[in-house]
């Protein structure tokens, strides 16, 4: 290929790195692709690292050694995180989103890939220290958010089903009680979905009493996983005592007034700790 100018090479490198968060690229592979010396590429990486850090868009990590390289890690600044959550809160506060029964219509936002990609990167920022091996969710509405969170971490997504499928082989099934309606439901996961001893991060779109999240945690443990964290996009303020502890809710739904057509939903503050 024709030799690229430095600005073109930096643009291409940034695209490759940010398209595959968590993936370790070797400078040797980049050297062959761009026909540039490793020392030159190292200078490019310094430029990319500084730009990402200054804009609060992420980190560029260097891994030393023969098997090392560089990888992009999404990591939001407090300001960027707050801007994303504030925008989401405004979107979800629209009166036309009120559904009879005091619920919110969220499906359109949950299936916007670019928006969920940003939310997934926020979860990656908040949970990076846990170093999970898998992201886990339950079908169906939470899948886009969990998938984008898995992409931000660069790890697989595992999806629990409401019923087992023959095509997935041997599965573990559990019965759990939903915290809000107190109904008994079934959840299943293939035995081979999670390697025994792996760390699992649970991600879901909505939580009221925490029954579904509790069910996922129990199911992950049944197949040998170890739950290290739970994150949800929206959690209700009531009931105050959930069926799980130590979860992170990016938005908290305080009240839905159907008569007044008002919604009180508030974004997480960047420095807020996990709910206990």
In terms of DSSP bridges, do strands 69-73 and 157-160 run parallel, antiparallel, or are they unpaired?
unpaired
CATH 3.40.50.2020 fits 78-267, yes or no: yes
Residues 158 and 217: beta-carbon distance below 8 Å:
no
Structure tokens at 95: 């009166």
Note the pLDDT of residue 168. Answer: 72
Q: What is the pLDDT of residues 164-221, one digit of tens each?
A: 666 677 889 998 887 666 788 899 999 899 999 999 999 999 999 999 999 999 999 9
Residues 276 and 245: beta-carbon distance below 8 Å:
yes
User: pLDDT class for 142, splitting at 50, 70, 90?
Assistant: very high
Domain boundaries defined on the chain: 6-73, 78-267
Note the pLDDT of residue 166. Answer: 63
In terms of DSSP bridges, do strands 134-138 and 199-207 run parallel, antiparallel, or are they unpaired?
parallel
CATH 1.10.10.10 fits 6-73, yes or no: yes
Note the pLDDT of residue 23. Answer: 95
């Amino acid at each position: 290929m024709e030799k690229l100018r430095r600005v073109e090479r930096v643009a291409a490198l940034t695209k490759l790195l940010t398209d595959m968060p968590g993936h370790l690229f070797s400078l040797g592979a980049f050297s062959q692709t761009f026909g540039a010396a490793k020392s030159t590429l190292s200078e490019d990486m310094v430029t990319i690292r500084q730009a990402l850090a200054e804009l609060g868009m992420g980190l560029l990590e260097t891994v030393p050694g023969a098997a090392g390289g560089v990888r992009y890690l999404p990591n939001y600044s407090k300001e960027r995180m707050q801007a994303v959550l504030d925008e989401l809160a405004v979107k979800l506060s629209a009166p036309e989103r009120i559904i009879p029964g005091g619920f919110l219509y969220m499906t359109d936002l949950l299936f916007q890939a670019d928006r969920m990609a940003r939310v997934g990167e926020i979860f990656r920022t908040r949970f990076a220290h846990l170093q999970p091996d898998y992201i886990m969710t339950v079908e169906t509405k939470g899948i886009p958010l969990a998938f984008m969170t898995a992409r931000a971490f660069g790890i697989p997504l595992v999806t629990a089903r409401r019923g087992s499928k023959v095509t997935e082989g041997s599965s573990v099934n559990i019965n759990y009680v939903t915290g809000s309606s107190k109904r008994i439901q079934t959840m299943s996961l293939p035995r081979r979905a999670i390697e025994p001893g792996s760390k699992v991060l649970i991600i879901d779109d909505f939580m009221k009493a925490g029954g579904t999240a509790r069910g996922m945690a129990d199911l992950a443990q049944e197949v040998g996983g170890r739950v290290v964290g739970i994150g949800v996009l929206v959690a209700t303020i009531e009931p105050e005592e959930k069926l799980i502890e130590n979860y992170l809710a990016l938005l908290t739904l305080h009240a839905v007034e159907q008569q007044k057509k008002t919604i009180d939903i508030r974004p997480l503050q960047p420095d807020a700790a996990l709910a206990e």
